[in-house]
Every structure is written in C-alpha cells, then in structure tokens.
C-alpha cells in the first residue's frame, strides 16, 4: 500500500498573524453515527472499510473538496496519481495563482457564457468569489485584488494556496494518498469499487476531480472522463480553450519577444466582428500568446468557425491573419470538452446517470476566460459536490459556515 500522507516536502509555512490562525488538530471528530464501519472493526489509523467519499484527483477541485469534507466532518480520502498534490495549481498565474475574480456572480456567469452560465449558477451562488477569498483568508493566506478584480495571494506565491489546502487536509485528518493512480471505478451492489495500481477501496460516493487534458505532465490526462464514459456518460470532444495562435506574419517576425501590456484582439467572420477583447498580447516566434490571444482562442475553440480573421491592434495599426492554427491541446490552459453538462445535476454536481457519482472542476465541459474564472469554477463545483454528498449521508449541514 502506498504511503498515505497529508503533506509533501516544502519549506516551512510562514506563520500567519495571531487570530487568523486556526488551532491545529482541533480534534473535530468524525460524527460517531455517520453510518459507516464501526471504529471497532477498523485497525487504528486505517480509513473505514467503506468510505463515505473517495475524491479522485488532488488538483484545485479535489483538494478544496477534501478540505471542505474534512471541515464538515465527512470522512473522505483523496487519491492522486502524482507524487505531489496540486501540480497544475502551482503553475497557475505564472506561479502567482490568480485564484478568483472579485466581481458579482452574475457577471462571472455571463462571462462564462453558453450552457455554463446556467449550469454554474447554483455552484457559484453557493461559493461566490468573496467566499473563496474569505476561506483562504481564514486559512492564513492574505490576498490582494488587482484593479480589474483579479485576486492573488498577497505573496504572489501559488505555493501559499497549495499549502493552505494541504495543511487543512492535515488539520482535519483527511488522508491524501499520493502516487496512487486510479485505474478505474466499478459500481457493484450500490457501492463504488475504486481500483488503484496497488490497492482497491470501496466508497459510497465518488467525486471525480481529475481535471481536463491540458498540460498532461501535471497529471491531468483525461482519466476521469474515461471512467465517466464507462459508467454511462458521453464525452464532449476536446478542443483547446485558452491557447496561442500559430501563424507567419512579417510583424510577428519583427516583434518576436515583445509584450504589449494592453491591446485589442478581434475575431471576424465574413468581415463582422464576432468577438472583441482586451488584454496582454505576447509576440512569440510562432505567433501570438498572452491573455488577449488566449481569450480569442476560447471563442474559436467553442464556436469552431471554418474560416475567420484574427485581428489585433499594435503601434497604431491593425494587423490581420486568416484562420490561424492554434497551439496543441496539451498546451491549453483550459480545455473545452469533457463530461457534458446536461448529464450532471447543476444543483448537486451529481451524475444524472450513475447515483453516487459526482464531478468537480475541469473534468466537466467547463472552461472560462483568463482571470481566475477556471479556479473559481473548480472551487465552487467542488464545494457543491461535497455539500451534496454530506446531505446524502444524512450529515449535519455544518458546511453552511463554509459555503
């Protein structure tokens, strides 16, 4: 059996100011009547024979779900295939972690757009940006909000966000098992059997939080979508969501390596502007990157126009290229596609096809613009899934404090 650990190697966490720090090992005990194997039938230190909740994947969504489960007294175990939790989280915002955007929920939902607007409404209303901020504030991470609403740790270190999450798992005695690649899930006699490379466990509920398929070296390789398919779900095909455009253009050759802090990018179809956005534009040897290009690629990734014009403003001029390619899926910051939203109940994040199965984060067909939207969606869907599992287990709704 692999080592079960609540934390990974890291420098010591800076001690937050007095008053903001939660007491360690508060001794919040699991509810004695939680309906699972009685403690007497367990070896000390071992999880119950049938877990109330197995959380598959310890990225942004899985870690947050584990923390909220622990804080609500819901016994849960996280399984993570990498030797470290939150590999992608540590890369976010160029290592600074833009964890959310301090804007009204209605605006955030409108910016997600499409089917995501209504699907994410229950989750984001229950865990809006200000609640995410309050949660991290309570867990010893001072935050700062930029003029445009983007929220970062004041330290500008994504590690502070990851430490707060992993420390909360430890403080709530929520086990996380690293190097534990899940190979598959089966449902038998109302229980899930979760098979890893080296051991199996049974769980009453399973939360799939294995992410999308971008940056696969961070561990997100699309396994959760395959398990969902095996349990009856379909799959919306993957397309790059936030990614650079690849093309040849004399202006690019002249300006490679230059960053334009704020410029306008448009997508035109048959001459009509169908998308316009502002932001940073990075001129690269192969084309255009940066937030302004990424957000435009989200439009073309979602709408899949056969032909379009990419237009950008620079040096008082307008430049255009016709139907540029994009960088590959594996370089996509957010991936379009995954488990279809109409197969998941937006009020609970539970599968409409397989009882006891829940989803959170990018494994779903959810992708937002740059600016903290994707982590906001991961945190909010995780919180809603945990609350739903807890209610299904007849637990006390202690999460009201959290949500």
Ligand X SMILES: Cc1cc2nc3c(=O)[nH]c(=O)nc-3n(C[C@H](O)[C@H](O)[C@H](O)COP(=O)(O)OP(=O)(O)OC[C@H]3O[C@@H](n4cnc5c(N)ncnc54)[C@H](O)[C@@H]3O)c2cc1C
Give me the residues that bind ligand X (CB under 6 A), please: 56-62, 79-82, 87-89, 91-93, 97-98, 181-182, 209-211, 214-215, 218-221, 223, 333-334, 361-363, 372-375, 378
C-alpha 190/C-alpha 26 separation (Å) is 34
Number of Cβ within a 10 Å radius of residue 237: 9
Per the listing, tokens 């929220």 go with 151
Closest contact distance (angstroms) between CB of 287 and ligand X is: 18
- Cβ atoms 158, 95 nearer than 8 A: yes
Per the listing, tokens 């804007």 go with 103
Strand, helix or coil for residue 178: coil
Nearer to ligand X by Cβ, of 309 and 350: the residue is 350
Closest contact distance (angstroms) between CB of 344 and ligand X is: 14
Nearer to ligand X by Cβ, of 110 and 273: the residue is 110
Nearer to ligand X by Cβ, of 283 and 334: the residue is 334
Which positions ≥6 away from 155 have C-beta within 8 Å?
14, 142
Per the listing, tokens 């059996």 go with 1
The dihedral over CA atoms of 112, 118, 119, 120, expressed in degrees to the nearest 10, equals: 50
Closest contact distance (angstroms) between CB of 38 and ligand X is: 29
Nearer to ligand X by Cβ, of 219 and 244: the residue is 219
Beta strands at 150-153 and 176-177: parallel, antiparallel or unpaired: unpaired
Strand, helix or coil for residue 16: coil
Nearer to ligand X by Cβ, of 308 and 373: the residue is 373
Closest contact distance (angstroms) between CB of 333 and ligand X is: 4
Nearer to ligand X by Cβ, of 196 and 309: the residue is 196
CA distances from 86 to 61, 209, 399 (A): 9, 11, 23
Q: Which two tokens stand for residue 162?
A: 């990851």
């Amino acid at each position: 059996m692999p080592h079960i650990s609540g934390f990974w190697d890291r420098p010591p966490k800076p001690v937050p100011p007095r008053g903001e720090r939660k007491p360690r090992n508060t001794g919040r005990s699991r509810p004695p009547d939680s309906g699972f194997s009685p403690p007497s039938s367990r070896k000390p230190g071992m999880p119950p024979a049938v877990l109330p909740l197995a959380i598959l994947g310890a990225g942004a969504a899985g870690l947050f779900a584990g923390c909220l489960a622990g804080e609500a007294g819901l016994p849960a175990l996280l399984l993570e295939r990498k030797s470290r939790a939150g590999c992608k989280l540590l890369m976010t915002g160029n290592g600074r972690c833009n964890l959310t955007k301090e804007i009204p929920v209605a605006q955030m939902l409108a910016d997600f757009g499409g089917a995501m607007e209504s699907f994410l409404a229950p989750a984001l209303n229950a865990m809006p940006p200000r609640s995410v901020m309050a949660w991290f504030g309570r867990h010893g991470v001072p935050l700062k909000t930029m003029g445009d609403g983007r929220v970062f740790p004041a330290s500008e270190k994504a590690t502070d966000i990851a430490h707060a999450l992993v420390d909360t798992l430890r403080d709530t005695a929520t086990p996380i098992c690293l190097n534990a690649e899940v190979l598959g899930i089966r449902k038998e006699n109302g229980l899930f059997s979760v098979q890893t490379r080296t051991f199996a466990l049974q769980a009453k509920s399973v939360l799939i939080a294995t992410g999308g398929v971008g940056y696969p070296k961070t561990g997100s390789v699309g396994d959760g979508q395959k398990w969902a398919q095996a349990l009856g779900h379909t799959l919306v095909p993957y397309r790059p969501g936030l990614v650079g455009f690849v093309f040849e253009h004399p202006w690019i050759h002249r300006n490679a390596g230059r960053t334009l802090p704020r410029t306008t990018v448009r997508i035109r179809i048959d001459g009509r502007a169908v998308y316009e956005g502002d932001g940073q534009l990075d001129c690269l040897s192969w084309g255009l990157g940066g937030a302004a290009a990424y957000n435009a690629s989200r439009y073309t990734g979602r709408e899949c126009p056969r032909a379009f014009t990419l237009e950008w403003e620079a040096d008082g001029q307008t430049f255009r290229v016709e139907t540029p390619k994009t960088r590959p899926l594996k370089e996509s910051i957010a991936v379009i596609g995954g488990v279809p939203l109409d197969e998941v109940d937006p009020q609970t994040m539970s599968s409409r096809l397989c009882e006891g199965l829940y989803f959170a984060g990018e494994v779903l067909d959810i992708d937002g613009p740059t600016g903290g939207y994707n982590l906001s969606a991961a945190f909010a869907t995780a919180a809603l899934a945990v609350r739903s599992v807890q209610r299904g287990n007849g637990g006390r709704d202690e999460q009201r404090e959290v949500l």
